[in-house]
Amino acid sequence: MRNELKNSVQIFIKSIMMFKELSFIGLLLIPLIFTINRKVLREPKPFLIILSFSVLVSIIALRGMNSGTSDSPNFILFWFCPLYSLLIYRLMLIPFWARKKRDPKIPPRELFYSGNVSLFADKFFGFVFMLLSTLLPMILIIKLS
């Protein structure tokens, strides 16, 4: 009985270590969805699925932080980034909707500046979201650990 418990604890610790190694997925999950298909983040049903997955991953990360060793920097904190990115996205949508009365569009990829300013707000929205959802968590986790 004791050996079974010891084996299950060792398996759990190994799975947490694997969880820590794949933590960059948590950092890039929502920005990747934002880049590929923004509609998924606005529609209620897919958003609830993504939100529930983010909450589940955050709960697992909390358990991993409590049972694991304290490394510096603690990359398991990246698993909290999907919740943070969803919050940032929703908070940034509020002023965009209020000002533009529409959802942000995916602007065309241009190699050189074309002078077209009609989608400047959309490009700015995407730039600020990517900056806040990827660079800020990396800087904070590395500096604060």
**Is the Cβ–Cβ distance between 16 and 64 less than 8 Å?**
yes
Question: What does the pLDDT profile of the chain (145 residues) look like in tens digits?
Answer: 567 656 665 665 566 556 677 888 888 999 999 988 888 998 999 999 999 999 988 888 887 777 656 666 677 888 899 999 999 999 999 999 999 888 888 877 765 566 667 788 888 899 999 999 999 888 888 777 6
Find all residues with CB under 8 Å of 67, minimum gap 6, and list them. 12, 13, 16
The structural domains of the chain, with segments of one domain joined by +, span 2-144
Q: Tokens in use for 89?
A: 């996205």
Find all residues with CB under 8 Å of 54, minimum gap 6, and list them. 29, 30, 82, 83, 86
Q: Tokens in use for 69?
A: 């060793």
Model pLDDT, residue 69: 60
Task: Enter the DSSP assignment of 76.
Answer: G
| CA gap 81, 83 in Å, rounded | 5
